[in-house]
Amino acid sequence: QVQLQQLGAGLLKPSETLSLTCVVSGGSLTTHLWSWVRQPPGKGLEWIGDINHVGGTDYSPPLESRVTISVDMSKSQFSLNLTAVTAADTAVYYCARNGGSFDLWGRGTLVTVSS
């Protein structure tokens, strides 16, 4: 069955760029949108953005100026870049398969921003 494996660093300094990758195994990127969602410690869920298999993107308006989501079909993966991070970006970041609702999730990566 389809699985999502998250890769990427978990500790950043303020002003650095967050980079995470989600590898999709057991299925094709062509069938759904692919998303990033984050959750600050002890708080709720926040949608970051989506991408389709041809690179079309949609971003959360508050984050749009700092977010880039990209897709690499040859590696069956999609990636998140978030620039100029601050402590407010400290969260667990999840990748997810998006068919409107999110029916498949990665295990999450805790990203901590601290000087």
Partner 1 sequence: EIVLTQSPGTLSLSPGERATLSCRASQSVSRSLAWYQQKPGQAPRLLINDASNRATGIPDRFSGSGSGTDFILIITRLEPEDFAVYYCQQYDASFPCTFGQGTKVEIK
For partner 1, the closer CB: 33 or 85: 33
To the nearest whole angstrom, how small is the minimum distance from the Cβ of residue 4 to partner 1? 9
To the nearest whole angstrom, how small is the minimum distance from the Cβ of residue 94 to partner 1? 6
For partner 1, the closer CB: 5 or 15: 5
What letters, b where the CB count within 10 A reaches 16 and e where it falls short, cover 9-36? eeebeeeeebbbbbbbeeeebeebbbbb
Return residues touching partner 1 (CB under 8 A).
44-47, 58, 60-61, 94, 99-103, 105-108
Check: CB of residue 21 under 8 Å from CB of residue 69. Answer: no
Listed in sequence order, the residues at least 6 apart from 41 whose beta carbon sits closer than 8 Å to its beta carbon are: 90, 91, 92
To the nearest whole angstrom, how small is the minimum distance from the Cβ of residue 19 to partner 1? 20
For partner 1, the closer CB: 16 or 27: 27
